[in-house]
Each structure stands twice: as C-alpha cells, then as structure tokens.
Structure 1
C-alpha cells in the first residue's frame, strides 16, 4: 500500500469521525431548511465540486505543461489547487448564505 493510499484512507476516516461527532448539529441545521432550499444546497455543492475538479484538472495541466522544471511544476500545482479550492469555497459560502437566508 502506497503513502497516497494510506493518506486517503486516514483522511476519509477523519472526515467520518468529525461528521459522526457533529451529526446532531448538522441534522438540526438541515431541518431548518425548506425542501427547495435543501435541493438548492445539494445542487450548489455538486456544481462547486464539478467546477473545482475541472479547474484543478484541466487548468493545472494546461498551466503546468509550460513549465519545464519538474520541482517547479509541483509547486505551481499546489498553488493552483489551493487557489482554486479557496475561490470555490468563497463563492460556495456566499451562494449558500443567500439560498438559506443565513442559516448555513
């Protein structure tokens, strides 16, 4: 088993642990939303994930293809990933606040 697989498994286990501990709080928050709001939240998360994956995969590959130096490719890839995730999270938070009227 490679380090990448071990890291992925540990990350998933940590996410499950945190979610399990906060499940009551999360459930109460979602009960405050109407069905339309809940559906809009699900669609918003799906679109945000889709856009982030597209930008990270295609945008990173396109930009990194112009860099001949391998270690610099890695650094630029990390910067692109962090930037895309930060931008997508910021937009997602604004959209969710507007959809849920400040509940989320």
Structure 2
C-alpha cells in the first residue's frame, strides 16, 4: 500500500467525519425531532394522514435508507478525491498473515 501524507490523511478524515456528523444530525432529526414536535405537526397532512404519524410509521425508515445510499455515493467520491482505492487495498492485503 502506498504511503499517504499526513495532511492528506487529516483532510480525508475531516471530510469523512463531516459526513458522519451530517448523517447523525439528519437521523436524529428524522427520529427524535418529529417525536419532539409531534403535537405541533399533527395539523399538517401528508398523503391523507398526520405528518408526525407518517414520519413515525414510514418516513424515518425511508429517510435512513436514502441516507445509506447517499452516504455510499459521497464516501466513494471522497475516496476518489483523496486517491483511496478500496479494491487495490483488498487485493494487496489478500492472503497475508501476521507473524508473531
């Protein structure tokens, strides 16, 4: 495996951590934010049912599934930007053992 400069590695992990924080915030808002504001959201109708009920029943699950796909796409772009090649790393490390 090739060596990565510390500044590049720091920028890579900063970008990855930013994506993780954004996903956690969106997930928290989808799960807890709707519950917290359920009383004020009950007057908003979405597909014929109260918005807070829809988000609790289906919306949060759909939000998480969409986030998984978006996270995978953004992570691949970050990896390409910083020259990280997962397939090459797997190929290089395949079959190697650790000597004690």
> Per the shorter chain, which TM-score range?
0.5 to 0.7
Q: Could you say which residue in structure 2 is the equivalent of 1:18?
A: none
Counterpart-to-counterpart distance in 1, 2:5 and 2:19: 21
Q: Unpaired segments of 5 or more residues in structure 1? A: 1-27
Q: Could you say which residue in structure 2 is the equivalent of 1:44?
A: 15
- Over the aligned positions, Cα root-mean-square deviation in angstroms equals 2.8
Q: Number of aligned pairs?
A: 73
After TM superposition, the runs of 4+ consecutive aligned structure 1 residues lying more than 3 A away are: 62-66
Counterpart-to-counterpart distance in 2, 1:68 and 1:41: 37
Is the radius of gyration larger for structure 1 or structure 2? 2
Q: Could you say which residue in structure 1 is the equivalent of 2:74?
A: 91
* Structure in which a larger fraction of residues adopt helix: 1
Q: Unpaired segments of 5 or more residues in structure 2? A: 42-50, 87-100
Counterpart-to-counterpart distance in 2, 1:68 and 1:47: 28
Question: What's the TM-score, normalizing by structure 1?
Answer: 0.53
Which structure would you say has the larger RCO, counting Cα contacts within 8 Å and 6 or more residues apart? 1
